[in-house]
Amino acid sequence: MKQTVMGLLSLVALSIAIPAAARDDRLKFPVDAALAKGQNYKEKLDPQIKLYFGKPSKLKVAKTIGEWTSNKKTNAFNKSDQEACNIAFISAAVSLQDRAKREGGNAVITMAGVALRGTVVTLPK
């Protein structure tokens, strides 16, 4: 019995010590492909709330209501990278459309963003 307990503890300690393999990929997929599939997912894009990407040069804004962010994730199990990204993208776009409706808007203009991740270290002097 004592050997079984020690064996299980050793196995647990070993599994904790083994680092998990993680991906840190940067992929680019066309927005149009995600938008085209936007009606096939659980959350659906609302055609009444227009989405504009970047700063459209000829768009005349009557009133700016405010700025909000949406950061969505999805379970990528058994999905291609593009399908997982499309689902997260549509979910974020739907979230912004829902915000536009609550605030009385009829369009969402998106902008680019940057997220940086860094490792803080101490260098020798």
Total-model pTM: 0.69
Residue 19 has what pLDDT? 59
Q: Which of 61, 89, 57 is nearest to 73 (CA)?
A: 89
Instruction: Assess if residue 49 is contained within a domain.
Output: yes
Average pLDDT over residues 2-11: 60
In the predicted structure, residue 76 carries a pLDDT above the cut 90: no
Q: For residue 13, is it within any domain?
A: no
Q: What is the pLDDT of residue 53?
A: 83
- Tell me if 117 is assigned to some domain: no
Taking the C-alpha atoms of 85, 117, 25 and 20 in order, what is their torsion angle to the nearest 10 degrees? -100
CA separation for the pair 10, 15 (Å, rounded): 9
**Is 1 contained in some domain?**
no
Our count of domains for the chain comes to: 1
Cα(68)–Cα(105) distance, integer angstroms: 12
Q: Which two tokens stand for residue 123?
A: 């260098």
Domain assignment present for 81: yes
Determine the Cα–Cα distance for residues 102 and 6; give it in Å rounded to an integer.
58
Residue 65: band (very low, low, confident or very high) from pLDDT cuts 50, 70, 90:
very high
Find residue 107's DSSP bridge partners. Answer: 50
Q: Domain range for residue 32?
A: 25-110
The closest alpha carbon to 46, from 110, 81, 93, belongs to: 93
Burial 91-114 (b: 16+ CB within 10 A, else e): bbbbbbbebbeeeebeebbeeeee
**Confidence bin at 58 (pLDDT 50/70/90):** confident
Q: pLDDT band at 56, cuts 50/70/90?
A: confident
